[in-house]
Structure 1
Amino acid sequence: MQVTINGIDTRYVLSNEGGGPWLTFIHQLAGDLSVWDQQAGYFRDKYTVLRYDLRGHGETALSPEAFSIEQLSDDLAELLHKLGAPSTHVVGLSIGGMVAQQFAADHAALVDTLTVVGAPAFTPEEARPTFAQRAASVRENGTASIVEGTLERWLTADFRRRHPEVVEPVSETIMRTPSEGFARAAEAVCNFDVRNKLALVAKPTLVVAGKHDTGTPYAASKLIADAVPGARFETLDAAHLSPIESSTQFTALLETFLRSSV
């Protein structure tokens, strides 16, 4: 389905067989809503599951100007409004985890629970040039040029070797991501910082870190859990894409958290 959100033609998928509480999943940089296929299939019998593509990703159009994580958060608020959602459980991965934190801070009344996966509370100054360089490189060479390096960060070598059938669609999604969509999102990541807002998050919060995640190290995720009052912190035997690499464990962890937060 498509809907115009803040002037952007946005793709979303709504699965509400269960007609239960809303549960929204937000994908990673150079990803799309398909990263949540397994979780959507599992939770749709008990929840109204919403997935969507961020600006410039998947089948969502690219805005004509640069954008921020705050604007991506506002996009979600407008999407929920147009779909008639009173509130939602929010689950975000990577840049999606940044959007989820920003959303919990800026649109608290719309949040039932917050789950942050493989995302920091801010982008350190020393890491900003890396994202800026990736943006410049992709503008010049396309997203196909970053596939190999991205997969090495996202999934452990053992998982990539044993599950080529999983790696292939992830690789294809990276390559399909529009270069400018990736570049502008990477630049938005450079300026992300919600450290001064986390103590105000008053909703049940789960923070998940991959033990082998080099992009978002353990300490960066732990900072969120330490800052949000009463937050729960868990680690999984995975790299950056723990909902894929440790799908069964992640889904069980999320189900337990959601059930205990009702």
Structure 2
Amino acid sequence: MQLNINGLETRYVLSNEGGGPWLTFIHQLGGDLSVWDQLAGYFRDDYTVLRYDVRGHGHTAVPNQPFSIADLSRDLAALLEALGASHTHLVGMSMGGMIAQQFALDHPSCIDSLTLADTVSSTPPEARAIWDQRAATARREGMSALVPATLSRWLTPDFQKAHPEAVEQIGEVLLRTHTEGFALACEALRDFDVSEDVKRIDKPALAVAGRYDTGTLPAATQALANAIPGCRFELLEAAHLAPVEQSHRFAALLETFLAAGV
């Protein structure tokens, strides 16, 4: 399904078999809505589940100018409004977690709860050059130059060995990501900083990290959890894509958290 959101054709999938409260999932950099397939299937009988491709990713159009995480928050607000959702539980992984934080700050009345996986509240100055390098590599060499190292950060060797089909799908989505969409998103991540603002979030919050995440260190996600009043923190036996690698454990945590917060 497609909608024009802030001038960009945007792909989304809405599963509302259960007709329950809204539950929105936001994917990582270099991903698309398919990363949530399994979890969407788990929750669709009890929730109205929304997934979408962030601008420049999947089947959502690539903008012709730079954008910020605040712009991505506005995209989500416009999508929810177009679909008639006045409020939602929000789950974001990595870049998706940054968008979720920004959205919670920009539209607090639209948030029922916030689940943040493998993410941080800012990119420290010493790490900003990494995002510039990744953007430059994508533009110069294409996405194929980034896939092997990215998958090694995203998923543990044990998971890659046990679930080659899942790794192949995630790798193919990354490979197909539009180079300019990826590069512009890298630059948005480079400049993201809500570290002084997240203490204002007053909704039920859950933060989850992968113990073996080398890209977003678990301590950084825990620091984010500590900054949000009342936020619960959980550590999973996974790398960067903890909700994928530990999908059953993540689903159980999220189910319990949502039930308690409703």
- TM interval, short-chain normalised: over 0.9
Q: Does 1:91 align with 2:91?
A: yes
- Residue 177 of structure 1 aligns with an amino acid whose one-letter code is T
Q: In 2, distance between residues paired with 1:204 and 1:89?
A: 10
Q: Does 1:185 align with 2:185?
A: yes
Q: How does 1:68-87 map to 2 (within 5 A)?
A: 68-87=68-87
Instruction: Give the distance between the partners of 1:255 and 1:200, measured in 2 at CA.
Output: 25
How many correspondences in the alignment? 262
Q: Aligned runs of 1:161-240 on 2, under 5 Å?
A: 161-240=161-240
Deviation string 1:135-190 (CA, Å, 9 cap, x unpaired) is 00000111111110000000001111121111100110001100000000000000
Q: Percent identity?
A: 60
1:130-141 to structure 2, matched below 5 A, reads 130-141=130-141
**For the residues of structure 1 that align with 2:113 and 2:175, how far apart are their CA atoms?**
32
- Tell me which residue corresponds to 1:253: 253
Determine the C-alpha separation between the residues in 2 that align with 1:152 and 1:50. Answer: 28
Q: Distance in 2 between matches of 1:86 and 1:98?
A: 21
Q: Which residue of 1 aligns with 2:26?
A: 26
Aligned to 1:114: 114
Q: Partner amino acid for 2:34?
A: S
Which digits, 9 at most, give the CA deviation of each residue in 1:29-66, with x for residues without a partner?
00000000001001000000000000110000011110
- Report the AA paired with residue 129 of structure 2: P
Q: What is the aligned-residue RMSD (CA, Å)?
A: 0.6
After superposition, the C-alpha distances for 1:108-135 in whole angstroms (9 at most, x for unaligned) are 0110000000001100111100010000
Structure 1's consecutive aligned runs of 4 or more residues displaced over 4 angstroms after TM superposition are none
**Secondary structure of 1:172 counterpart:** helix
Give 1:223 deviation, angstroms.
1.2
Q: Which runs of 5+ in 2 are unaligned?
A: none
CA distance in 2, matches of 1:252, 1:132: 37
Aligned to 2:13: 13
- Structure-2 separation of matches of 1:144 and 1:69: 25
Distance 1:244 1:201 in 2: 26
Structure 1, unmatched stretches of 5+, are: none
1:102 and 1:247 map into 2 onto residues whose CA distance is: 25
- Alignment partner of 1:186: what SS? helix
Q: Does residue 57 of the first structure (1) align with residue 61 of the second (2)? A: no
Given the two structures, how large is their TM-score scaled by the length of structure 1? 0.99
Q: Distance in 1 between matches of 2:17 and 2:162?
A: 33
